[in-house]
Structure 1
Amino acid sequence: MAVRELGRALSATFKNHVGELSAEGIEGRILLDTGRGGITARRLKGEIKADTGSGEVLAEDVTGSFSCDTGSGECNVTGFDGTELSCDTGSGEVRIRRVKADLIVADTGSGRIVVEQADAGEFRGDTGSGGIDAELTGTRLRRVKADTGSGHVSLRIPADASFEVFADQGSGSLHCGFADATAVKDDHKTVGYRRGDGKVRIAIDTGSGGATVDPAR
């Protein structure tokens, strides 16, 4: 099923029990729902939700708020400007690129989370098995939470950021690429770093895996 430029704002649900679903150039409060099949959303504006039991979600150039939920499949978002961006998949990679949002939430039971060129006030990433690689370049960044059961966490934040990072790690070490950051120790183990007034609060939790916090380039 394909839905294209209807010329007016909508409050509507577009549903397929089985099969691909796509929407382009529409505006309003939109739910795209398929039991099994991929969802493609391009140039949508408003409160947008995409839900599939099994299949990939692909979103490009969305404005407003966007949430996607897939039981099994990847979630890929390229180009977003709005309030909240949320991606949740039971099994599959989450990839987010070129976005501006007050809040970014990425959650996968099994798979990597990759965020590139993100201007966000807050980022929350959670994966049961898989790494988190997030490039958070905007000046409004205030809070980061990265949690992985098994996998490495790599964060890149603005080079001039003041921050406070603490890590709870079952195994693995914490590394900070900011030369002027002060290490926080607990019984000879480095559990955090502080730089400046600590305006950006970063919490990292890994069951098994290392973590790095570096300046974005």
Structure 2
Amino acid sequence: MAPRTASDTVRIPSGQAALDGDLTLPADARGVVLFAHGSGSSRLSPRNRAVAAGLCRAGFGTLLPDLLTEDEEREDVVTARHRFDISLLTRRLTDAIDWLERRPDTAPLALGLFGASTGAAAALAAAAERPSRVRAVVSRGGRPDLAGGALPLVMAPVLLVVGGADTTVLTLNREAAERLTAPHRIHVVRGATHLFPEPGALEQVTDAAADWFRDHLPAGRTDGGRADGGRADGGPTG
């Protein structure tokens, strides 16, 4: 019999807002990964949900929250204003981190962040604000450059996954990587474009993320200090 997996729709308080989220916890989870969506996406993103499902199969819990309220999402469809508000997205993400910290079932678990597009910038900024809690970060087709001054403050190991044919974003990731002081690596999915629609491309993203979290999330909670390990090669790999 397969280990039981608990899934719940949750509400995460954030200032005057309440954010909807989907929390999934496998039995004996080895850690929990908080997702940060961006660029007009939500917790219903089929790509992030596919990655989350793969991480759950690998034994990790996942939390996929909406970082915008329904009213903000409707406004954003017209103005695209909120999706680039990295400060807002970061505040919402750190509130979700603190919410996980307060739950008895997730507080003992090591925490990783998975950010896509502009959500990757928020994930990096949140990692800089919660260095004792966030133990690893993965970016998928992200805009880490938008994290700005937070980049050298990130202490958790960072994996930047970029499509090889997504040349502009790949350049931005390479430039952002030069500003990171934490252990980091760029993983290039050869031939993939920005949304990784090519056959097998998203599976490569999932496998790379699972390996990164498996390597860098300790079993259970570890407080304080920089994650162990020296700087990884900052250059792209296959």
Question: TM-score with structure 1 length normalisation?
Answer: 0.35
Normalized per residue, the structure richer in strand is 1
TM (normalized to structure 2)? 0.32
Q: Which has the higher helix share?
A: 2
Ranked by relative contact order (alpha carbons within 8 Å, sequence separation 6 or more), the top structure is 2
The structure with the larger Rg is: 1
